[in-house]
């Protein structure tokens, strides 16, 4: 554990905040809010600097602010979107991986006050730490200014990536809608079976079948099991909706009837 004078630690915190302002273009009226947002708890554990607070309370506030702003943004941005898809899209935008990516764009990890041990173990690149720091930054910006300042920061990060997130949400919405249709029509839950995994480890292509009541209703492909299963659900749902006015929906002629299947640890399915 290293010891510094309170004055030295205060100077380090202020200079760190000023460097972040210069790099990001975000200017704070109350520099102590920004200093707190940039302070990881490991820094206080090592320095015993009791006059400074870590960023965890701001992280809590920022999480709530993000949920509200993203929800309002999506409500107005997509006036015809279903509630289920809006929920999926909001979840994709505020999940740890997404917020950590936003933090990387701001180079936030390199500006954190962090204990030496935490930094040496990769703390500045750890997704959970980056996500928390971004939420803390949002909380600090909200307290220092207002919601409009947070929106300016957030929307500049969200808009370029939005089409990709919309696609992900649409796929997830297809899975939930397919499950609802399957249970209402056949009283059966869709099962997802990983049929193939081709290619080298760094570039695998997965093929997934979605099976309802013993029949394959959709086949999907993707670079992960999750993407392939969502693609299969979307294809199955498209087939069902194409025949929604038929008196009896014909079974898809994709593959012979399938044996019963059980879910594996990844949430996919394997032959039982």
Could you list the active site residues?
A: 63, 135
Place of tokens 């929106």: 151
Angle subtended at Cα 85 by Cα 255 and Cα 130, rounded to the nearest 5 degrees: 105
Q: Give the CA diameter of the chain.
A: 81
CA-wise closest residue to 193 among 224, 216, 176, 169: 216
CA-wise closest residue to 87 among 168, 154, 169: 169
Which H, E and C letters describe 228-257, residue by residue? HHHHHHHHHHHHHHHCCCCCCCCCCCCCCC
Task: Return d(Cα 222, Cα 238) in angstroms, integer.
Answer: 18
């Amino acid at each position: 554990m290293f010891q510094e004078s309170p004055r030295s630690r205060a100077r380090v915190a202020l200079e760190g905040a000023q460097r972040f302002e210069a790099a990001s273009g975000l200017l704070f009226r109350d520099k102590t809010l920004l200093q707190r947002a940039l302070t990881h708890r490991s820094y206080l554990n090592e320095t015993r600097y009791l006059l400074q607070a870590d960023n965890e309370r701001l992280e809590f506030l920022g999480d709530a602010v993000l949920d509200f702003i993203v929800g309002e943004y999506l409500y107005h941005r997509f006036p015809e979107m279903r509630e289920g898809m809006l929920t999926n899209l909001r979840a994709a935008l505020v999940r740890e991986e997404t917020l950590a990516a936003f933090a990387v764009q701001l180079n936030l990890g390199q500006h954190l006050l962090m204990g030496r041990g935490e930094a040496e173990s990769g703390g500045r690149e750890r997704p959970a730490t980056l996500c928390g720091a971004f939420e803390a930054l949002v909380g600090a910006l909200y307290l220092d200014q207002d919601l409009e300042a947070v929106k300016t920061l957030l929307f500049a990060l969200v808009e370029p990536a939005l089409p990709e997130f919309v696609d992900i949400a649409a796929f997830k919405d297809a899975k939930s809608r397919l499950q609802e249709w399957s249970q209402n029509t056949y009283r059966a839950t869709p099962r997802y079976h990983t049929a193939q995994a081709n290619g080298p480890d760094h570039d695998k292509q997965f093929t997934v079948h979605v099976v309802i009541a013993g029949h394959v209703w959709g086949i999907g492909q993707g670079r992960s099991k999750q993407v392939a299963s969502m693609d299969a659900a979307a294809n199955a749902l498209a087939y069902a909706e194409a025949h929604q006015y038929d008196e009896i929906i014909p079974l898809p002629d994709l593959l012979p009837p399938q044996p019963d299947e059980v879910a594996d640890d990844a949430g996919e399915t394997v032959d039982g």
